[in-house]
Amino acid sequence: MKLEKMPFWAGRQMSVTKIGMLAFHAALLVVANGVSVAAATEGRASGSPQDEVIKVGSAELAVVLGAHPSPAEKRVAVLLAERINERTGISPAESCAKAAIRLVIGTVASNDKIKAFAATRKDIASLGADGYCIAADVRKPELYVVGQSDSGVVAGVGRLMRELRYKRGKLELPALEITEAPQMPNRGMYLWARKHFFGKPDQVDRYIEEFALWGGNALAFWFEMGMFNSFDDPEAKQWLAMYRRFYATARRMGMKTGLLMAVNDAYKSSPEKLRISPIIGCPNHYMCPSKPGSVEQMVAWQEQVFKALPAIDIFNLFPADPGGCSCSDCTPWPTRGYWRIAKPLAERIHEISPKTEIWVDTWHLNHKTFGGKDWKNLVANLAKQRPEWFAGFEVAVAPNHKYAAMSAEDRKYYNEAQAPLMVFPDISMWGNHQGMLVNKEYWKSLQAELNDYSPELMKGGWPYSERWNTDIASVTFLSWFWNSKKTSETVLDEYASFYFGPGAETGRKLLDLLDDGCKDPQRKRKIGEALAKLEGSVPDWVKRDWRWGEIVKSCRFFANRH
Ligand SMILES: [Zn+2]
């Protein structure tokens, strides 16, 4: 295995030093409070630090947590043990007494060994929020994953998982020295709440955890009242229970929770006389904020939903799609109808939960149907008044979406308003796209838009994901929240390496062939060949991952196409 300085580590906040490599045969143990969770066999490390690869006999690896591990630390240790076990077959040992190598993970607060190690390192003391440090020196029996926070510990262990090389009965760890911290504080994922996700809740739990391992720290859902007759509708109760479950999964990984609410949403049974004048993309049971009594009713409904969920960190006021009202009192929508409900709603949420960040989303507002240029008045007013509850603007990144696309001039206007920004990127509105979505040219345009905003204002965002097949796009965006200059090529390299294992090179080529922008005239034949090669060579764990299924689906789609 080659371990070289790679371009995506080259930023100010990161450093990597090549030292060598450790190879373990067998052996895994997770220890918390002296109680082992999982483990293996025995052995001794040998070799010199100058070696490119340190050959190790049958060594034992123990994962050591502190005396007071957080739920995130306990969970990530188990996930690491499971991943190693699944990919190498290394079985648990009975005690940690024989561990030749100890992987110490945690924060300065949770783990005394980490505290002692951090005391020797200036870079750890100055680690940015949610950052991590991985120190694996082959001359020492203790390896460290230090996180600045729970999210940092999880991201660090995730990075370690991607650096490990898994073989049957053998695990290789390159000696590493990595310090990295994310550029943006809100590194989210918005799962559009539909059957593609909710039909498989166990898979969603694992998906959320995997996202955290890639460095994600926020999960958002939209609660769509219009799907239900009322708050007491049993289906609404089930939906909320599902959200609570997924939020708990996210919280356990050290993530934040986000809730999107369309501001003038209403239940299907809403009073006829309070309903909207029709506007594109909005069901008729939505309510008009200009009719007497409707704002009070909508705020009360939203409050009910908000309180039925565990503490929400980030609340998003969504203006349209669906939403809006075309009556003369609500027009133009941004500063009249929208503001008429958004303001009291924000104030009420802030009153209930002062710590909740409240972001004003402006999706669709720059389209003439939703007020033409009136959005500029909304932005200017908020930027000037800065109500106590106001966290910033959430802006669309959707160059192909005719209602949500933003111009360079629009972006300049936001930059000049000097309010914090988050992005709401369209990564998945691709009609009936078959299988895993890869579209590097499009991603480049999204990245260019992201980087068109002032870096000091940009705080992250929520890529919009409709189905499992947006996984690579989500990971790509997430990588930009860590380092907005990282290339899609680099992300695809990492992705292929982690999910194709020894088949990474062929898998990487296959992903390029599946790219929507691929112009290779031999594309169909090459896709067939690459898939056949992988089919016959990758270990079973590659094929057990649901991602493999999505990729095979993509290949079949091309095979059947003329
Ligand atoms: Zn109206």
State residue 333's pLDDT score: 98
Question: Does position 4 have pLDDT exceeding 80, yes or no?
Answer: no
Query: What does the block give as tokens for 331?
Result: 């027009």
Q: How much is the average pLDDT of 270-292?
A: 97
Query: What does the block give as tokens for 432?
Result: 């009936």
The CATH architecture assigned to 7-180 reads 2-Layer Sandwich (3.30)
Question: Does position 9 have pLDDT exceeding 50, yes or no?
Answer: no
Tell me if 75 sits within 8 A of 209, measured CB to CB.
yes
Question: Does position 35 have pLDDT exceeding 50, yes or no?
Answer: no
Cα 508 to ligand 1 centroid, rounded to whole Å: 52
List the chain domain ranges.
Answer: 7-180, 188-483, 495-559
Cα 64 to ligand 1 centroid, rounded to whole Å: 60
Cα 279 to ligand 1 centroid, rounded to whole Å: 10
Query: What does the block give as tokens for 488?
Result: 């899609």
Calculate the alpha carbon distances from 152 to 80, 211, 255, 474, 552 in Å: 15, 13, 10, 19, 33
Question: Does position 287 have pLDDT exceeding 60, yes or no?
Answer: yes
Cα 334 to ligand 1 centroid, rounded to whole Å: 12
Q: What angle do CA 59, 63, 68 make, to 5 degrees?
A: 155
The whole model's pTM is what? 0.90
Average pLDDT, the chain: 87
State residue 409's pLDDT score: 97
Question: Does position 509 have pLDDT exceeding 90, yes or no?
Answer: yes
Q: Give backbone dihedrals phi and psi of 165, rounded to 5 degrees, phi first.
A: -120, 125
Helix ranges restricted to H, 64-179: 71-88, 112-118, 122-125, 150-163
Question: Does position 48 have pLDDT exceeding 80, yes or no?
Answer: no
Q: How much is the average pLDDT of 440-457?
A: 97
Query: What pLDDT band is residue 6 in, cutting at 50, 70 and 90?
Result: very low
Cα 82 to ligand 1 centroid, rounded to whole Å: 54
Q: How much is the average pLDDT of 52-79?
A: 74
Cα 316 to ligand 1 centroid, rounded to whole Å: 21
Q: Provide the 10 A C-beta neighbour count for residue 167.
A: 15
Query: What pLDDT band is residue 10 in, cutting at 50, 70 and 90?
Result: very low
Share of the chain above pLDDT 70, in %: 87
Q: What angle do CA 517, 538, 63 make, to 5 degrees?
A: 105
pLDDT in tens, 188-243: 999 987 777 788 899 999 999 999 999 999 999 999 999 999 999 999 999 999 99
Cα 381 to ligand 1 centroid, rounded to whole Å: 21
Helix or strand run (H / E) with residue 15: strand 15-16
Q: How much is the average pLDDT of 544-558?
A: 93
Helix or strand run (H / E) with residue 28: strand 28-32
Measured CA to CA, the distance from residue 81 to residue 101 in angstroms comes to 14
State residue 95's pLDDT score: 52
pLDDT in tens, 356-373: 999 999 999 999 999 999
Q: How much is the average pLDDT of 527-539?
A: 97
> Which of residues 513 and 29 earns the better pLDDT score?
513
- Collapsing DSSP to helix, strand or coil, 347 comes out as helix
pLDDT in tens, 75-120: 999 999 899 989 998 854 445 666 778 889 999 999 999 999 999 9
The CATH number of the structural domain formed by 188-483 is 3.20.20.80
Neighbours of ion ligand 1 (CB under 5 A): 288, 290, 325, 327, 330
State residue 431's pLDDT score: 60
Q: What angle do CA 357, 362, 367 make, to 5 degrees?
A: 175
State residue 91's pLDDT score: 58
Question: Does position 45 have pLDDT exceeding 80, yes or no?
Answer: no
State residue 16's pLDDT score: 32
The rounded Cα 274 to chain-centroid distance in angstroms is 38
Q: Is the peptide bond before 334 cis (omega within 30 degrees of 0)?
A: no
